[in-house]
Copies of this chain bind each other. A is one copy, B any other.
Amino acid sequence: MGPGPINADPRVLRAMSAQLVGQYDPAMTAYMAETQELYRDVFRTANDATLLIDGTSRAGIEAALVSLITPGDRVLVPIFGRFGHLLVEIAERCGADVHTIETEWGTVFAPEQIEAAIIEVRPALLAVVHGDTSTTLAQPLEDLGAICRAHDVLFYTDVTASIGGNEFLADEWGLDAVTAGLQKCLGGPSGSAPITLSPRAVDVITARKSIEAGIRAEGDAVRDDRIRSNYFDLAMVLDYWGPRRLNHHTEATTMLYGARECARILVEEGLETAWQRHRLHGTAMAEGLAALGLAVFGDQQHRMNNVVGVEIPDGVDGEAIRSELLHDYGIEIGTSFGPLHGRIWRVGTMGYNARKDAVLVTLASLEQVLRRAGVRVSAGAGASAAQDVYGSAV
């Protein structure tokens, strides 16, 4: 019940135990095409360029950035938590001239703040995390697409933490590149990174491919347009997933089975239903934790449905509580990073764990552990508050 990775859906694990088929077997290429179509539904996009990167969600981020960024490009990263810093770190290694704006952990940006920074920096790319589990908040993105178009900026986001549990509409919101991972609300294991690219992003990437062949002969040593990575070269990866099926890496078949099943489960349930399920169980968890006397962290207007931060009570050893909950009750909750380290716990309700029994058992167990640690908790308050949420939802 941490901020992810979480337990996988048993259906996903079962799908991953299927025998392999050859990478150009018609069955395999059909699975690949089906997986692309499913992730178009998940991302809410019509982008043809929708596929999987064979690596963790961090691999997806690097693939997007290294393929979109030509060394020297200005990139703007609004930072509202740990993963904003990660985007900076990766973009810098891609050779970008990175500019940042920061807001206090527990808050998000107003669109005007981001537009003002775009006007000042004039970046080629805006790179912003959607949901940042480090603070539990989600940056509203719906107004940023139009702003990016108005200023001719590419718009990239990572939705690893939010996708499947929170409203996300890639095309309607004007995204050019989106990366994800399976290990949060999609209910799968880490190791495959779904990605989607708008035609505009594909044009940028494809142009870099065509530049690659010719430019070296002209001997321009200062500006090297070649995509710096082979593994993450989306121009080549697109040809591998596309009708030409040009050999690149050897597809990670078992991870593809898993990614496909994650999306099948979600599409069967319906995206709106899944978002609502996450909101229901996330609210029940938050209300339950508050009723146990724990102060909920951050701007609740912009909290993700699937993870809540609560302040560790004064005088309580946060790690001792987490340890007892894990070892005696078999339940994992999250610690925190950076400025929140030692200040808050993070509790997730996502994917297969966005369930009533998981919420109630967690609240019941945490109550026991808090009481043993000397925290004054009113008996049954947590589970009761959660039940009230469920009762009013019926």
Contacts and interface: CB of A to CB of B under 8 A. Distances in A.
Contacts of A2: 22
Contact of A25 (B20, B250, B332): B332
Interface string A243-282: 0000111111111001000000000000000000000000
A13, A17, A57, A337 pick with most chain B CB within 10 angstroms = A17
A376 interface: no
Nearest to A62: B231
Nearest to A16: B16
B20 A17 contact: no
Interface string A304-323: 00000000000000000000
A107 to B, nearest CB: 23
Contact of A20 (B8, B86, B181, B248): B8
Q: Is the interface of A mostly helix, strand, loop or mixed?
A: loop
Contact of A191 (B7, B228, B233, B254): B254
A56 B93 contact: no
A13, A19, A66, A93 pick with most chain B CB within 10 angstroms = A93
Given A8-B254, A58-B249, A189-B254, 15 more contacts: A5-B23, A8-B20, A14-B17, A16-B254, A22-B326, A25-B332, A55-B249, A58-B231, A62-B230, A89-B230, A93-B229, A93-B233, A189-B255, A190-B251, A228-B229
A88 to B, nearest CB: 10
A59 interface: yes
A93 B226 CA distance: 8
A250 B5 contact: yes
B230 A93 contact: yes
A99 B28 CA distance: 37
A316 to B, nearest CB: 20
Nearest to A25: B332
A226 B93 CA distance: 8
Given A8-B20, A17-B14, A250 B58 contact: yes
A176 interface: no
A255 B253 contact: no
Contacts of A190: 54, 249-253
A18 B189 CA distance: 11
Interface residues of A, number: 57
A35 interface: no
Nearest to A189: B254
A321 to B, nearest CB: 15
A6 interface: yes
B249 A56 contact: yes
A7, A8, A20, A183 pick with most chain B CB within 10 angstroms = A20
Nearest to A59: B231
A227 interface: yes
21 contacts: A2-B22, A4-B250, A5-B22, A5-B250, A6-B20, A17-B17, A20-B189, A22-B326, A22-B332, A55-B55, A57-B249, A58-B249, A66-B229, A86-B230, A93-B226, A93-B229, A93-B230, A190-B252, A247-B337, A252-B255, A254-B254
A366 to B, nearest CB: 16
Contacts of A233: 93
B191 A255 contact: yes
B17 A16 contact: yes
A62 B229 contact: yes
Contact of A56 (B25, B228, B252, B337): B252
B189 A55 contact: no
A340 interface: no
A90 interface: yes
A6, A18, A94, A189 pick with most chain B CB within 10 angstroms = A189
Contact of A54 (B13, B191, B228, B332): B191
